[in-house]
Amino acid sequence: LDADPSSVAEVLGPLAAARPGLRVPGAADGWEVAVRAVLGQQITVVAARTLAARLTERCGRFPRPEDLASLPDEAFPMPRTRIATLRALAEAAPRLESPADAHALVELPGIGPWTAGYVALRLGDPDVFLPTDAGVLRALGTGAREAARRAEAWRPWRSYAVAHLWASL
């Protein structure tokens, strides 16, 4: 909430005009955002929610690092590579309180720029752009390279641009 909506609107121009005052969705729990981001890799939002709900039901709460570490592989109805990523995340049990913490996630196997960037965006980094995000590309009607080029004009508020692009769908 540190961003002045008029400053954001000034930089984003027409993109922000349709939804004045739109904020980037924040997060109270960086760990949960990271797990949900990994669960959602290369699947729909609905499928990711279903996976999160199944794991939560199995654990009796949203799974903490120790829960993910102790579950058998069969508890994870997903590709082995994604299971390995969740296990690496659980083993590292990173402190995820700031955007810098989130950007460091790329050091873990299976976590690339999209996942780390998404977590950083949700933890308050105002200048994250997700050039490979399917929703962003659909909203812009372009490819990743052109999306990244266009997003340069939205600095230092690219996270807000992402939120506006998602909201436009």
For residue 125, indicate whether it is catalytic.
no
Q: What is the largest CA-CA distance in the chain?
A: 51
Residue of 29, 67, 127, 133 marked catalytic:
133
Catalogue the active-site residues. Answer: 133
